[in-house]
Structure 1
Amino acid sequence: MSILAGKKALIFGLANNRSIAWGIAQALHEQGAELGFSYAIPQLEKRVLPLAEQVGATFVEKCDVTSDEEIAEVFAKAKAHFGTIDILVHAIAFAQQSELEGRFVDTS
């Protein structure tokens, strides 16, 4: 039985097939949720669209979460598309490249 059948999930922060957002999306999809995605920058679209297609996502939008206007616009579009959003996933992450260099235990 699909425990999330009929539920609508909007996932912020999908970047590629190695992102936490993708793992969450797959689990939600397996349980029957209808999915929508946001991604941060235009360059990610070419990675995100094929993933969205794999799970039958019907809503994909770019969203710069540092912009209140873009956030409001994405939520307005999502409301128009889905009606109600039952699940919201925040999987947005950012780190300076220099913070990811060196030993893992030294990462801030």
Structure 2
Amino acid sequence: MSGLMQGKRGLIMGLANDKSLAWGIAQQLSAHGAELAFSYQGEALEKRVRPLAESLGSQFLIDCDVSDMAALDSAFATLAATWPTIDFVVHAIGFSD
């Protein structure tokens, strides 16, 4: 594949499993050279997200409850402390009752 996203960094939000829309997007971004970080909410989702992220060469995971503004601020502060810039965010979070 080409390096269309080479040198770009982004956050993937909403990865739940290998059937998630976010997973397909993350795979393509990685294949095109992007460096990825992943958010998850809570320990149960971390157990699913971590192996997928690692399979794409990413160790950068951030616990983030998007319904909590302080958690969002903290997530982006963590990003800013690690990366000087961010080029994109994939928002693939879905909620249901």
User: Shorter-chain TM-score: which interval?
Assistant: over 0.9
Quote the Cα distance in structure 1 between the aligned partners of 2:25 and 2:14: 11
Unaligned runs of 5+ in 2: none
Normalised to the residue count of structure 1, the TM-score between the two structures is 0.85
The alignment status of 1:92 with 2:93, answered yes or no, reads yes
Higher RCO by CA contacts (8 Å cutoff, separation 6 or greater)? 2
Aligned-pair distance for 1:40?
2.1
Normalised to the residue count of structure 2, the TM-score between the two structures is 0.94
Q: Letter of the aligned partner of 1:89 in structure 2?
A: V
Aligned to 1:31: 32
Aligned to 1:74: 75
SS in 2 for 1:3: coil
Unaligned runs of 5+ in 1: 97-108
Quote the Cα distance in structure 1 between the aligned partners of 2:59 and 2:89: 15
Based on CA coordinates, which of the two structures has the bigger radius of gyration? Answer: 1
Pairwise CA RMSD: 0.9
- After the TM superposition, list the runs of 4 or more consecutive aligned residues in structure 1 that deviate by more than 3 angstroms: none
The percentage of counterpart residues that share the same residue type is 50
